[in-house]
Amino acid sequence: MDRTDAPARLPGVLLILADNLGFGEPGCYGGGMLRGAPTPRIDALAAQGLRLTNFNVESDCVPTRSALMTGRHPIRTGCVQSVPAGLPQGLLPWEVTLGQLFQQRGYATACFGKWHLGDRAGRHPHERGFDEWYGIPRTTNESLFTSTPGFDSAAVPMPMVMSGRAGQPARDEHVYDLEARRRIDGELTDRAIDFIGRQARAARPFFAYVPLTQLHYPTLPHPEFAGRTRAGEFADSMVELDHRVGQMVDAIDALGLARDTLVIFASDNGPEFRRPWRGTAGPWSGTYHTAMEGALRVPCIFRWPGRIPEGGVSDALVHVTDLYATLAAIVGAPVPADRPIDGLDQRALLADPAAASAREGFVYYIKNELRAAKWRDWKLHFVWESEPNAGPVHLETPWLFNVLRDPKEESDINSTGEGWVRGPIRRMVEAFQQSLREHPPIPPGAPDDFRPQGGRADR
């Protein structure tokens, strides 16, 4: 791809993605000490850059990661959730990933952590835009398998920590059991720091994507953090997550790369709902797997000294797909023109926290079902599910909420003067659904040779 609007010197990019980190966990989002787990490093990162308070993601791990990697809503890519065992999981090779965009601009790219966008040859990270990869292909709860009575490794694949380098087959490194679960984020952090150091010595721009495993269940801390807070393993794990973020930021600073590196810290979805690992969304209601604000809104912080003002806070509406478009614009990589890209370029907001968002709203699907639509300060629920597995209830008349005045979504305001917003929300929904008719979604579990062609999704 040709260069378009890149800076004179291509910046390094470190993108840290926490797993199941609720809005209300870090101190800078109202948690920290109040949760028994101080987060000084994440708080300092926010003070050094921009903290978003209206950053929105998808319903759970797979959909958000697909939206991040493609700039497309998961209803389009078929990554609506994990597909049944035996079918191809994750992104179709036809999709152009964020890693591929960086590679096309000459970046060294690496993924250290939880992928969850393909667990077979051709769909691993080192085959989808990353020069190197170390981590898990699926998810952290698989670490429970081997200690569960009756587990049969002949019936299902043994959960493994894996690695890969571009042009080579993936390798099994070791079993992903409970002991490995406790230690993996330390390994991922060490490998990310080593990768950044190697690129610094080579004077090569880097993209380090580090999807850590904390706070996904089982939420168990590294042995060095066990008992650290005296508030339990969940709090200990939060303190570990904070420490890992600090280690990576310290490495960038020690290498003298701070002003040449964009650091992004975010979460993939709202908090876990299962106990004893349940997290908190702070002022919002709900957990992941719902359309509540607690599922959509998560922490998101940007630091880029000299390019992003310190101490900025913005409540402007931003969606996870916007990271794709924004990062592409920052490094001068044109996004694919042969498919709908839902992400919008938010560089103006990064430069000025008082700037307006490039978007007014977005649609929200869970699996293949439209659940809600968010527009400015309002949200319209078509299906109501306040807790996972508590519904869903399909509403005869959608419920309307002003999430600025009613953050817990307790009072339907359809009958008030604010009912006028149903008009623009309906138009936004219809425009999106028309685009689905023009570009039919890729079905979940589609094989590698599936190709959307000529406005139709054909095999």
**Residue 64 sits in the same domain as residue 206:** yes
Same domain assignment for residues 340 and 377: no
Asked if 272 and 419 sit in the same domain, the reply is no
What are 164-217's pLDDT values in tens digits?
999 999 999 999 999 999 999 999 999 999 999 999 999 999 999 999 999 999
Residue type, 112: F
| Phi, psi for residue 349 in degrees, rounded to 5 | -70, -35
Whether the predicted pLDDT of 30 surpasses 90: yes
Rounded Cα distance, 397 and 202, in Å: 60
- 144 and 89 part of one domain: yes
Residue 38 lies in a domain: yes
Distance CA 77, CA 56 (A): 18
Residue 454 has pLDDT above 60, yes or no: no
Burial bucket for residue 319 (CB in 10 Å: 0-12, 13-18, 19+): buried
d(CA 131, CA 111): 8
pLDDT (average), residues 205-232:
97
pLDDT band at 452 (very low <50, low <70, confident <90, very high): confident
Residues 371, 337 within the same domain: no
Among the three residues 309, 325, 351, which one is the final residue of a domain in this structure?
351
Predicted confidence at residue 80, as pLDDT, reads 86
Helix axes 61-70, 321-331, angle to 10 degrees: 30
Q: Does the residue 84 lie in any domain?
A: yes
Task: Judge whether 356 lies within some domain.
Answer: no
Active-site residue numbers? 61, 116
CA 76 – CA 91 distance, rounded (Å): 11
User: 136: domain range?
Assistant: 12-351
Q: How many domains is the chain partitioned into structurally?
A: 2
pTM beyond 0.75: the answer is yes
pLDDT in tens, 41-87: 999 999 999 999 999 999 999 999 999 999 999 999 999 877 666 67
Same domain, 375 and 289: no
Q: How far apart are CA 210 and CA 112, in angstroms?
A: 5
Q: Which of 302, 333, 351 is the last residue of a domain?
A: 351
Strand 12-18 and strand 206-211: the pairing is parallel
Six-digit token string for 49: 């850059």
285 and 412 in a single domain? The answer is: no
Q: How far apart are CA 282 and CA 285, in angstroms?
A: 8
**Residue whose C-alpha is closest to residue 130's, from 173, 176, 191:** 191
Which range (85-94, 308-317, 372-381, 397-406) has the least confidence?
Answer: 85-94
What pLDDT score does 156 carry? 87
Q: What is the per-residue DSSP string for 224-283? A: GGTTSSSS-HHHHHHHHHHHHHHHHHHHHHHTT-GGGEEEEEEESSS---SSSS----TT
pLDDT in tens, 100-116: 999 999 999 999 999 99
Alpha carbon distance 252, 41 (integer Å): 14
CATH of the domain at 452: 3.30.1120.10
Distance CA 374, CA 361 (A): 5
d(CA 123, CA 137): 10
pLDDT at 85: 60
What is the band of 391 on the pLDDT scale with cuts at 50, 70, 90?
A: confident
Location of structure tokens 């930021």: 249
Would you give the DSSP letter of residue 21?
-
Q: Is the pLDDT of residue 383 over 70?
A: yes
Q: Is residue 324 part of a domain?
A: yes
Please give the pLDDT value at position 459. Answer: 43
Q: Are residues 252 and 287 in the same domain?
A: yes
Q: Looking at the structure, do residues 377 and 297 belong to the same domain, yes or no?
A: no
- The residues, ordered by sequence, that sit 6+ positions from 105 with a Cβ below 8 Å of its Cβ are 1, 3, 6, 10, 205, 331, 332, 333
Assigned token pair, 213: 């495993």
Mean pLDDT confidence for 421-445: 96
DSSP alpha helix (H) spans, 274-352: 293-296, 321-331, 347-351
CATH number at 36 reads 3.40.720.10
The pLDDT value given to residue 3: 38
* In a domain? residue 5: no
What would the mean pLDDT of 352-374 be, rounded to a whole number? 97
Residue 3 is assigned to a structural domain of this protein = no
158 and 285 fall within a common domain: yes
Torsion from C-alpha of 113, 195, 98, 70, nearest 10 degrees: 0
Our measurement of the distance from residue 340's CA atom to the centroid of its chain's CA atoms, rounded to an integer in Å, reads 20
Q: Please, which residues have CB within 8 angstroms of residue 157's CB and are 6 or more apart in sequence? A: none
Averaged pLDDT of the chain: 94
Residue 2 lies in a domain: no
From the CB of residue 160, how many other CB atoms can be counted at a distance below 10 Å?
Answer: 19
Regarding whether 319 and 372 lie in a shared domain, the answer is no
Higher-scoring residue by pLDDT: 355, 8: 355
Strand 50-52 relative to strand 312-314: parallel, antiparallel, unpaired?
parallel
Q: How far is CA 71 from the centre of its chain?
A: 11
Give rounded-to-5 percent helix, strand, coil for the chain.
Answer: 30, 20, 50
Instruction: Categorise residue 118: left if φ over 0, alpha if ψ from -120 to 50, beta otherwise.
Output: left
In this structure, the answer to whether residues 385 and 261 fall within a common structural domain is no
Structure tokens at 82: 């994990």
SS3 for 9? coil
Strands across the sheet containing 50-52: 171-175, 160-165, 132-136, 108-114, 206-211, 12-18, 261-267, 300-303, 50-52, 312-314
Of the three residues 332, 351, 370, the one that is the final residue of a domain is 351
Residue 7 falls within a domain, yes or no?
A: no
**350-to-8, 163, 300, 308, 314 alpha-carbon distances in Å:** 18, 34, 12, 6, 9
Are residues 359 and 318 in contact, defined by beta-carbon separation less than 8 angstroms?
yes
